[in-house]
A and B are shown apart, each in its own frame.
Chain A
Amino acid sequence: NAGVTQTPKFQVLKTGQSMTLQCAQDMNHNSMYWYRQDPGMGLRLIYYSASEGTTDKGEVPNGYNVSRLNKREFSLRLESAAPSQTSVYFCASRLAQNEQFFGPGTRLTVL
């Protein structure tokens, strides 16, 4: 099993550009999550999907949209990137009542 995979690993955008971060898991997990990690801020939840077909806002959803495409895939979209969205983005998944498993992260720089 690959676990949780994310693409791309690195990305540089210009202010105003859009992009989609992809996440997939092969563990048949119900819930999926998107976090951003910033120095001195820890991990903050952007959006989550408790189950296929549902999505909810987390702590810092502004400037982002998500799509739970199917049980395996949960994508994060930046419609108009801003320098404040420069961060490392982690996707995670969880089976009911168990730990969250994290992907390797995407390093995004917005110039």
Chain B
Amino acid sequence: AQRVTQPEKLLSVFKGAPVELKCNYSYSGSPELFWYVQYSRQRLQLLLRHISRESIKGFTADLNKGETSFHLKKPFAQEEDSAMYYCALSEGSNYKLTFGKGTLLTVNP
């Protein structure tokens, strides 16, 4: 069975500081991993997917198969980055997503 672990429920940083949101996964196949973001009381939206290898809003994430990790990083956090972040792993041809429990990021002024 696949599993996604986000070890931090809460993460608080100051504006301009680097931020790293951790995500570890267990999956026997070849994983496809995503980061979704949910701003306060809004719908979830895709932030990053590992196969695209692009940077969105200054965030990057690298899939490390050896460490089974897909950590989300940003060198300089902004107040508007405050949100709930979910790591997710896709499963099979039906493209079901298994989500981690989420990390609430707060960027303080």
Q: Which residues of A contact B (CB under 8 A)?
A: 4, 31, 33, 35, 40-45, 48, 50, 56, 58, 90, 92, 94, 96-97, 99-100, 102-105
Question: How many angstroms from the CA of A45 to the CA of B90 in the assembled complex?
Answer: 12
- The answer on a CB contact under 8 Å between A94 and B95 is yes
Contact B94 A102 (CB under 8 A): no
Please state if B44 and A90 are interface contacts (CB–CB under 8 Å).
Answer: yes
A102 touches B45 (CB 8 A): yes
List 9 tightest A-B contacts by C-beta distance, closest first: A42-B101, A43-B99, A102-B44, A42-B99, A102-B43, A99-B46, A50-B94, A104-B43, A42-B102
Contact assessment for A103 and B43 in the assembled complex, using a CB-CB cutoff below 8 Å: yes
Q: Which residues of A contact B42 (CB under 8 A)?
A: 104
Cβ–Cβ < 8 Å partners of A105 in chain B: 43
Q: A40 and B95: CB pair below 8 A?
A: no
Closest to A41 in B: B101
Most buried by A among B34, B43, B49, B99: B43
Of the A-B pairs whose beta carbons lie under 8 Å apart in the complex, a sample of 8, sorted by A's number, is A31-B94, A45-B98, A48-B96, A50-B94, A99-B46, A99-B49, A100-B46, A102-B45
A97 CB contacts on chain B under 8 angstroms: 95
A104 and B45 alpha carbons, distance in the complex (Å): 10
User: A100 with B97: in contact, given A43-B86, A90-B43 (CB under 8 Å)?
Assistant: yes
What residues of B have a CB within 8 angstroms of the CB of A96 in the complex? 95
User: Chain A residues near B98 (CB, 8 Å)?
Assistant: 45
- B101 touching A40, Cβ below 8 Å: yes
**Closest chain B residue, CB of each to CB of A40:** B101
Q: How far is the CB of B87 from chain A (nearest CB, A)?
A: 9
Chain B residues within an 8 Å CB radius of A92: 44
| Shortest CB distance B54–A (Å) | 13
